[in-house]
Amino acid sequence: MKLETKLDKMTGSDKLYPKARPLLLKRNSRILGTGSGVPDEVITNQDIIDEFGLLATDRAVQFSLGISERRRGPHTEKVSYYLTRAAKESLSRAGILPEKIDRIIYSRLFGEHLIPANSLEVIKRLGLKTGIPVMDISAACSGFMHALELGLACINTGDDYVLILGGDRSAISSQAAVSIDTRTIFLNGDGFAAALLGPSDENNFKASYFYTDSSIGDFATIPFGSALLNSSENLEDNMFNLDMPNGQNIHKSVLDSCRIISNRLFDASGLSIDDIDFFITSDQTAHVWRDQVKLLGLTEDQSVSCFHKYGNTVAAMAPLNLHEAIITDKLKRGMQVLMMAHGAGASGGGFIFTY
């Protein structure tokens, strides 16, 4: 069964999407272990209402977004602390010693700093003696998928073990210098995730597909960057602020993205939705998770969403859902997985793989 293809386009977009192409892997990979690095500190909707003095109720927030709570670590704790926590869990679940890692690719939002690459601190915290190559990458909420794709490519060119990290601080706090946007203040949480890729004799990754859509790049933006040089006003007010002028557009674009990525992955792999056992995606709200599951004709127990407890954790959403599915034993070895993530429609991509 193929999904409806007439909407092979984003709502509001004038772009064509790249064709699916075969994934030419000579050396195959496998996800050996996953890990979570969410902070222990739980922030409820009521906590946010109180902290910012908002006119809102927990009940209304739960109803409109489907979120009950999110995590927010103290600012004195570094990004690398949480990344290392996620990394250690993925290594321990894989049964692989940290010394085996050949490379770390971290998909960040802000990161702890711009220079040097953030995983240098992870190397220190893991106690590695060898200075393996690391880099930061960034592609909004779909960043972890891009990092996974690069990990597959690096194993294909000779690496054995590649540690993929993702996520960042994105919970809004009154301590940070941000203006308050009541449409987005409840959405985000701090979250960090890891996946360890290793070599495999089997062709687990059947297809990969990635696109971007510049015509809807303004659906969600964070100005933090050289844009700030234009105006010192921006510095304090909006630098960390996610600007998402129209939530309904994002909802639609995520569903469009889900449809396009799925169809392209089916084209590239020769598989169909009937071959898929489990579905992992980015869940920007509880509603957009449910609507993706419905769109694919799957049941909710064939997928998992942590949005209600973690919120939008940017690049960590999809891998935290993957980790949750694995530790709750819903996703088992041998299952065929459709995994993807959506960057507000402006970027997206994913895989079909055998877990």
Q: Does 286 bind its own copies (CB under 8 A)?
A: no
Q: How far is the CB of 223 from its own copies (least distance, A)?
A: 5
Tokens of 129: 């003696």
Q: Does 201 bind its own copies (CB under 8 A)?
A: no
Pick the closer one to its own copies by CB: 89 or 121.
121
Q: Which of 165, 194, 320, 346 binds its own copies (CB under 8 A)?
A: 346
Phi, psi of 351, deg, nearest 5: -145, 160
* 95 Cβ neighbours under 8 A, 6+ residues apart: 32, 33
Task: Give residue 127's region: left, alpha or beta (phi > 0; psi -120 to 50).
Answer: left
Whether 33 contacts 93, CB under 8 Å: yes
Query: 247-269 vs 286-295: helix axis angle to the nearest 10?
Result: 40
Question: Which string of x and - marks every residue 109-148 that binds its own copies (by CB under 8 A)?
Answer: xxxxxxxxxxxxx-xx---xxxxxxxxxxxxx--x--x--
Site for its own copies in 225-264 (CB under 8 A): 225-230, 232, 235-236, 239-240, 242
Q: How far is the CB of 60 from its own copies (least distance, A)?
A: 27
* CA R_g for the chain: 19
Q: How far is the CB of 61 from its own copies (least distance, A)?
A: 23
Q: Does 197 bind its own copies (CB under 8 A)?
A: no
Q: Which of 158, 201, 301, 333 binds its own copies (CB under 8 A)?
A: 158
Residue with tokens 């960043």: 143
Q: Does 174 bind its own copies (CB under 8 A)?
A: no
Q: Does 273 bind its own copies (CB under 8 A)?
A: no
Pick the closer one to its own copies by CB: 91 or 154.
154
End-to-end CA distance of the chain: 22
Residue with tokens 């193929």: 2
